[in-house]
Structure 1
Amino acid sequence: MNMSAAEDTTAAKKALEGFEPVKFQADSALLRELGERLVGQPHIALAELIKNAYDADATLCSIYIDKDQIIVADNGHGMTKTEFLTHWMTIGTRNKQDRGVSRDFGRNVTGSKGVGRLSAQFLAHTLDIVTVSKANRAEQLDAFVDWDDAIDAGKLTEAEAFYKIEPRTMSFPGNKLHGTRVVMSGLKQHWSADDIRDLGRQLWMIQSPIAAYGVLRTEDADPNDFRVELRSSSPMLVDTFERQMKAALENYDAVITGELTRQGDKARAHVKVIFRAGGVYSEEFEVPPLIEAAKWQIRVFRLHGRQFEGVKVADARDYFEKFGGVQVYDAGFRLPYYGVEQDWLSIEFDHSHRRNKSSLLPERLHVRRALNDLPTQGRLFGLVVIDTGKEARTADEEAKESGEFLKIQVTRDRLVANRAYTTLRNAVRWSLDYYASRQRLREEQNLNLQRPEEPSTDKVGRIQSLVMEARRSHPNDETLVELEKEFDGLSETIALEREADDAARSLLGPLASAGMAALAMEHESRKEMRLARQLLRRLRAAGTDAGDGRVAEIADQIEAWIERLESTRRMFAPLLDPDDRDHVEALALGSVLRQVAGNISPLIVGVEVDFEISRDLYLPPATFAEWSSLFQNVLINAANATLDTDRRRIRCVGGRTGRAAWVRIDDNGAGVDHERSAHLFEPFKRELNLSEERRALGLGGMGLGLTIVRMIAEQRRARVSFVDPPPGWSTSFQMSWSSAE
């Protein structure tokens, strides 16, 4: 039975029972209520309108802000009369959500709730729209809404907008004959520099990094090309906006510049590396005389820690995964082939093959393990500028005959892979290798490790010898007798500590290898995820073109799988961020535990995790990566122990007892033998009391988890053990430390 038949049956049944139908009504004040609740702030409201331009496949959106008026104009595909009436005039429409990607470029749409037009109501009292559809550039639709009148109408279904169709008189940004222009008059808010800065923070990620980014040599439109320009009667607002929109590009660590010139039968390349923290290095080297001229500038970015103008690290990484790499421009036109998607400089190839020595630099410039500091493409944004027309004109007759000069392929998306191209590629890569060598040299110069001149056992042995000599001279001196006993005990302690250190070091090799493998896998999976999302967008577009709803359903399932995989990757996040790996500080226990539990959520599905920890309880100073590794092991062990339990529960409790602070992690699982629990912290010891069915799943690891837990805890002067669990719980792991420290 379909829905309408069910409704008819319900209506008929209720009519027989004496019920009368009544329809729901929506008060027109809902326009204002929705605008305030769903939009909330002026910069979000204006950003929603600009994102509409992005979703309409615009390449340029122009904003004008005056004291009492805001104009937003774009050169997107515009709206037909039907689209205006069925989409724009319907609040909460799902057309974007159903489509998923933009009409022409296949961009992932930024809006899905259908409330963008409420932004206009939130910002101003009246609205004028002029829109010209790309499908019919001869006519335009003019519309007008007085929001105050619409709200005063009483019922939402009686609120009015006025429109008409007339011959086109309007042009749009970039001199396009199609697009949309929105004029909001009678502004309801004053726009400050802070509002404009917040607006830029909403928009910078969808904007192309440079103005000419999308001017392609193939003359095709570029889906990634989108720019926002702001004009205002207040120069301060314009400066603030431009600064925020360029924020991501200003967070660089170093700038690499290069220039290749030819004079007669000689050609040289000059390279300079300027480090933002100080230090300038430059070199010249000879190249084959196959190129008349080329220039490049490459910025190396620091995608961790505090970013410029409040940019989020994760956003910056996503931005450079989309726009990064080293681009090639031919006489001002970008060649589409080059960039982050193509490893034309063999950067990722060398990373994957673990190469640490440059094959291009001369021996005098080599620094040990220099290529370990070669930036990945996701940390680069660079431009190589050439002119193939000029190269053809200046090539000598021999080069013209052999074709050995820079020239573009017939596809117009890349250069011909001849000797001239190899010369250009090697020169640019030479400059990157030079940067890596200087960066490694700087780090080694800054590293000042003070190693002891002699082992502690030798020093203690010498002191023992002096004490023994003193005792021979004063055999009855009680102080010397006790001192000799203390040094005997100290020697034994040093020997035991050395044995423990040797045992720990024997574990560090396999652990380091496993960690490097995990990082390499994460790096590769990140690239694969980016490719998977591109293929998913193509699948959605193909489904839309074919009108097959089953394709959209399959795409949704694939997207859900990608999200699950992405959530699994979050477990490696503390290892990937240098701040998490290297920055030592006292972290709030509750925040750390909640974040770790969130990161490992794909591995503890179905487990209830409760927290009873006060906000003022702090862990001993350490890196987030250390505490993350420790608590990941403990929580996963606890979750595995509950696999045969109907209601799987973990509780994290923290508190203080005198001068000691502690955290206890309880679970209601299989439990451990408390008399034998101490040995579980030894390497390769395992005790997982599960059913045979669960054991067949291969749960558990190599028995190193709790060993790692103890190593980290002792490094940070904390103690770990299993303790008697409270009533209702099976196992309790506890870590304690001195809160005074």
Structure 2
Amino acid sequence: MATFSVDTKLFSELGELLVGRDSTALVELIKNAYDADASKVEIIGRSLGDPGKGEIIIADDGVGMDAHDFEQGFLRIAGRTKTTADRRSPWFKRRYTGEKGIGRLAAHKLARTLNVVSRKWNGKKRDELSGFDAASGVKATINWDQVEKLETLADVARSNAVQVGPLPRPEIINRRAGTRLNLSRLRKAWTRDNLNAFFEEVATLTPPALVAKPLPRNLIADQSVLSELKIRDARREAGFEISFAGELSLQELELAATPESAHWVIELDCDAGTRVLTILVSPTKTGLAETPNAEPFKLRRKLPAASTIVSFQARIFQRHYGTWPKALSGVRVYYEGFRVLPYGDTHDDWLGLDQDYRSRGKGELGRLRQYASWNLPAGSDREGLVIQGNRQFCGAVFLTRNSANDLKILVNREGFLPGDEFSFIREMTRLAIDLQNRQNSAAREEVQQARKSDRVRQQKASARSDASEPPSAFLVTSLQNEAMESLRVARSAISRGDVKTASNTLHEAEQALQSAKEVSSEAASEATMYRVLASMGLEQAAFIHEVNAIAIIAQGVAQALEAAAKSVKDQKLSRHLSAIAGEARALRERLRRNAIYLTDMTGVEGRRRRSRQDIAERLAKVLDFYQNAIKKRGIEVETNIERSLRTPPMFPAEVSAVLSNLISNAIKFAGDRGKLRATGMQQDGELVFRLENSGEAVDLRSAKKWFEPFRSSTIDIDEALGHGMGLGLTVTRSLLDEYGATIDFVKPAPHFATAIEIRIPGR
């Protein structure tokens, strides 16, 4: 009778087709443990760099197997044991994650030999502490090399390639149920790169606590729309713990991966039963500290009956500055509590976030325009500029088999089959992210408009104030005078019964006093920091006298050594003394130069009177001060300052402080034999000064954080430049704010890594 025959090459063909990565193979074996009602499974790696000696062990405390189960289940490819109508595990009633009965091919992909020891549950009640009691068991070995030497699968039964037998009774009595798979004679040596890739992929095999746990109390002002996350569909649950040991021990994730470090929280809850979609985007405490005007938005919408809908939940955290740890960044998809690759991988952009970030520009978000009838917040033509890439998001989309039964996993276990159901999940997730982007943009627009208004205000104050008076002090006085004049006018209006004029002028007085309060508050918030700096300045002034005294001593030592060199008859000693005298003179010159610079910075003249400062001249003094550090590092310095380029009236010490902070940073980060270029010009009525350096680049997306107080990127003390306090750029921006000027990191020219640009409006 004619029949089909199957070549043993089927195993290698199916293994490569259906199990793409090593991590995918292990995930399939872990899912088998989950389907077997295990509450914990341990993955152990030993001698992974040596295929001959290496082994991988997967041990669980599930319901186990006996010889019959092993033959009818594990040895049957594409078996039907998980395709019953209910598709649930025997004890916890979990939805089966296995779909085609091919998980055992993962064992073939990883190793040449598989040894199985399994003890089967006796069917009685499970002990909550110790698990299932065993009643029978199986011991089996599969030698895949011997299997593949045979011609067809029909020949396996007559060979010793697969050996199956009952577990001896002494190994079952008083033992707990569970399965232990030992994979030996590995297919390949696991290199460090293999291990790193494995760690990256399995670190989030199950949802990390960051997204799976309830939101910390008071993280957001609104109530979470995900009071209970549905991660798995199980009728009774004791949890499922996965641990990695030996050479597969997972590396610790980077720090700062906490909900509190996010700026925004995004939550979605879509219920196919009621057809209601709920989205919440809300700023966190951290987000409100940066943009106090940020507002939450909650959408609750019943979707049309004719449209495709899938039940799912999602929680996503967003950082505007900085990125999430690589192992957590991106939005991942979880199906029955297990991650679905490749969604959320480093090079996967299933939501199109990186693509939109690379092409971002002015304009309203197009995706939101199609939902104009949903009463969404109003858009802005600048909201496209605030789009962020995958690294700024950390989140998870949660699906269960019951809620998303129409979704089908691809045969290689990576991703879902394209279709309306998955398109709906992607579209609604991106809708929520775009809503967060819109709210974020609106809040930042207000902050930017406020800063722009402040700059205009400061520019006017700078132009009108006396040369000996700081612009902010003049501004407060002016506002107070305006308020007093308004009160005088109001008093006069009241005396003649003109209530309308009195009301209007009182409103003007209130606005003037409010503005004065804001300026005073800004100054007060910086007062503590500046008192510390001022006290350091006083100590610096005293230190200058010490520097001058040491310089005089150095000069005396040099003269004494020169005299000694002339008096000795030993020529070698004479030359040696002359060389030391030269070093003493050089030391004296360095001390003198530093004393002059410090006097210029901290002396009374530096803050006595504002005047138009020659940029080239001030820059030369600063570069001279740092000449030793520049020479020591072999840094090439190029200056291109327009002739007679001058600032608006400013205090000399302010200009020196600004240039000093920028030059010291540039030298520090240019690196040995680096390059530094300073350019200055008049452009559109503004003085534009740009400083560029080689070395490490600054990410322009998060560059604003370096202007925050105590933000220092270095922990080592530079012997030439010292160790910064993280206040240099903060103080620099504050000094420039006085004159309505701006300072920003900008895109550098070719051959440079970082560029910072100052724009000071003309008088």
TM range (shorter): 0.3 to 0.5
Mark the structure with the bigger radius of gyration. 2
With structure 2 as the length reference, what TM-score do the two structures score? 0.33
With structure 1 as the length reference, what TM-score do the two structures score? 0.34
